[in-house]
């Protein structure tokens, strides 16, 4: 699914004109709006909007999975919240300016070990704490391949319920869903993004 944009008019993307007419392109309708908020003091956004759109194109059955998804927010960092889902919105929180996570909880490490190993992120154990030696590229990969997919899993869960109001299967479903899709698209990810 390729998007063709010629230019912006008043911050709206305008499709390319051919033969004096706008083509009918369904891809415009299937892409959610991406909003970038200020990251907050001591934090920064690692992801650009263009990288999110590139990543979306790697996800199989995007149109089905993203049904009802109106907005993706690059959000201000909220206390220990890497991302969130609410109604028709998913968000990825800003990352700490210090890319390496020092004194990370061992439980977090064990829960995310498969993803960290897949991304080949070095880890140093110090007693009950763990230092996760992210680089900017591996942190981006973690945000896209795990956090984004986890929140998208919550959205998909919500949209597959009868009333489409609340995700019914919770954190375990979203985590499992994210891991399945991460494994499914990882090879394609490394063709488009650096690790």
pLDDT digits 0-9 by tens, 153-183: 988 887 776 655 556 667 788 899 999 999 9
Q: Tell whether the model's pLDDT for residue 11 goes beyond 50.
A: no
Q: Answer yes or no: do 45 and 83 share one domain.
A: yes
What's the chain's average pLDDT? Answer: 84
Domain count within the chain = 2
Q: Answer yes or no: do 152 and 80 share one domain.
A: yes
Q: Answer yes or no: do 82 and 164 share one domain.
A: yes
pLDDT of residue 124: 93
Nearest CA to 121 out of 111, 135, 110 is that of 135
Cα separation, 68 vs 88, whole angstroms? 6
Q: Answer yes or no: do 91 and 149 share one domain.
A: yes
Q: Answer yes or no: do 26 and 78 share one domain.
A: no
Q: Answer yes or no: do 83 and 122 share one domain.
A: yes
Q: Answer yes or no: do 78 and 88 share one domain.
A: yes
Q: Answer yes or no: do 17 and 36 share one domain.
A: no
pLDDT of residue 6: 40
Cβ atoms within 10 Å, residue 147: 22
Instruction: Show the domain range for 161.
Output: 31-192
């Amino acid at each position: 699914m390729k998007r063709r944009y010629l230019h912006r008019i008043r911050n709206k993307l305008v499709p390319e004109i051919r033969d004096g007419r706008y083509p009918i392109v369904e891809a415009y309708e299937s892409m959610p709006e991406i909003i970038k908020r200020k990251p907050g003091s001591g934090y920064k956004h690692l992801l650009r909007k263009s990288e999110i759109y590139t990543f979306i194109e790697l996800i199989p059955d995007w149109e089905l999975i993203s049904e009802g998804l109106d907005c993706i927010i690059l959000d201000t960092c909220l206390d220990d919240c890497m991302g969130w889902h609410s109604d028709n919105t998913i968000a990825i929180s800003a990352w700490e300016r210090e890319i390496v996570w020092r004194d990370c909880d061992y439980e977090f490490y064990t829960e995310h070990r498969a993803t960290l190993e897949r991304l080949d992120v070095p880890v140093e154990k110090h007693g009950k704490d763990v230092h996760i030696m992210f680089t900017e590229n591996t942190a981006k990969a973690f945000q896209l391949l795990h956090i984004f997919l986890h929140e998208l899993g919550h959205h998909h869960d919500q949209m597959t319920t009868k009333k489409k109001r609340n995700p019914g299967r919770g954190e375990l479903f979203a985590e499992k869903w994210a891991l399945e899709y991460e494994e499914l698209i990882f090879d394609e990810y490394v063709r488009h993004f650096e690790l």
